[in-house]
Chains A and B, each alone.
Chain A
Amino acid sequence: MAQDDRRYFEEIEVGEEYLSPGRTVTETDIVVFAGLSGDYNVLHTDAEFMKTSIFGERIAHGLLGLAIQSGLLTRGMRPYATLAFLGLRWKFKGPIKIGDTIRVRAKVIEKRETSKKNRGIVTLQRQVLNQQDEVVQEGETDVMVERRGS
């Protein structure tokens, strides 16, 4: 197996911050996500209808933004020795439109011991920013991370 460069529970510190590269969300991303998820809601797929909406054009699925930020952040940090993704609390604050460029800023806000000695829970606060530095999505994610030597 390749060398293990993952970070373990005891090496992660509260207050650490990560910043991802940017990624431009394209029409293709939205079309592919609609096909993959089966969510063809007019918000994301009907350009004519959306001209009459408050957004004025199609917008990316909220969950597409969430999924892309999850991938983006892996390019802005060394991976954790993650055992499981436990859950998240998430808010969609503004639209992501075709051509917008998003990046993710994240911070470790909490570490919790669990009843099992070989693991712990790490909570990250995440913000998804667009090219105008507006927060378009934000929330917290909880992951179970292995301890070294466990």
Chain B
Amino acid sequence: MFYFEDVVVGEPLETPARTLTEADVVGYVGLTGEWDPLTTDEAFARHSEFGARVIPDLLPLCISSGLGWRVPQPPLVVRAFMGFEWKFFLPLKIGDTIRSRSRTVAKRSVKDGGVVVEEREILNQRGEIVQSGRLTLLVAKRPPA
């Protein structure tokens, strides 16, 4: 396990990649109930500025949280996700492949653990930043031996 004490500020981490499929989109939309015509109505989306259905905006962020566990380090003991700020720069389409790159930009000790601030970017297969932001996590401290 990876505890607050093990987190190194500034150290970059890059995840494996994952291709966004139609199944991901339909599964996500069914789960959330967000039937945006831009993501679910091909006839409508074809006439939009994107020319085809686009990936629901929050789906890559959700997938990046799963990708974040598939890095070459033990799992961070996260106690709670406290909050985040996020920006969307470029649309993604079915068949695009994303990965995420992150680094810790700040850490501070608090009573019940440690607060870790992570900067995260989601990149597409061309290396363009499609979304990015800052996430704040409450992380456990290493228990006494």
Instruction: State the A residues within 8 Å of B (CB).
Output: 1, 23, 29, 32-33, 36-41, 43, 61-64, 66-68, 70-72, 74-75, 82-92, 139
Q: A87-B86, A91-B82 are in contact. Are A1 and B44 (CB under 8 A)?
A: yes
Give the residue name and chain of the B residue nearest to A55 (CB): B80
Flag whether B14 is at the interface (Cβ < 8 A): no
Q: How far is the CA of A32 from the CA of B66 in the complex (A)?
A: 13
- Of the candidates B24, B82, B85, which one forms a contact with A87 in the assembled complex, judged by CB atoms under 8 Å apart? B85
Q: Which residues of B contact A89 (CB under 8 A)?
A: 83-86
Interface digits, B1-42 against A, CB 8 Å rule (1 contact, 0 not)? 000000000000000001000001001100111111010000
Within 8 A of A (CB), among B49-75: 49, 57-58, 61-63, 65-70, 75
B66 lies within 8 A of A67 (CB): no
Q: A39-B69, A70-B34, A74-B35 are in contact. Are A84 and B62 (CB under 8 A)?
A: no
CB <8 Å contact, A67 and B82: no
Contact across chains for B88 and A37 when beta carbons are under 8 A apart: no
CB distance from B101 to the nearest CB of A (A): 17
In the bound complex, residues from chain A placing their C-beta under 8 Å from that of B130 are none
- A43 & B78 in contact (Cβ 8 Å cutoff): yes
Q: Is the CB of A63 within 8 A of B58?
A: yes
A63 to B82, CA, bound (A): 11
For the complex, count residues of B whose C-beta is within 8 A of A: 39
Main secondary structure of the interface of A (DSSP, over half): mixed
Contact B86 A90 (CB under 8 A): yes
Cα–Cα, bound, A72→B33 (Å): 7
Q: Looking at the complex, which one of B24, B44, B81 makes contact with A36 (CB distance below 8 Å)?
A: B24
In the assembled complex, 15 residue pairs joining A and B whose CB atoms fall closer than 8 Å, in A order, are A36-B28, A37-B66, A38-B65, A39-B65, A61-B65, A68-B33, A74-B34, A84-B91, A86-B88, A87-B85, A87-B87, A87-B88, A87-B133, A90-B85, A90-B86
Contact status B61-A71, CB under 8 Å: no
CB <8 Å contact, A38 and B70: yes
Could you tell me the distance between the alpha carbons of A67 and B27 in the complex, rounded to whole angstroms? 12
Shortest Cβ gap from A93 to chain B (Å): 9
**Does B65 lie within 8 Å of A63, measured CB to CB?**
yes
Report the minimal beta-carbon distance from A35 to chain B, rounded to whole angstroms. Answer: 8
| CA of A64 to CA of B61, assembled, Å | 11
- Contact among B49, B57, B62, B133 for A63, CB-based, below 8 A: B62
For A41, give the chain B residue with the smallest CB separation. B78
Task: Given A88-B86, A89-B85, A91-B82, decide whether A37 and B32 contact each other with a Cβ distance below 8 A.
Answer: no
Establish whether residues A75 and B65, one from each chain, have CB atoms under 8 Å apart when the complex forms.
no
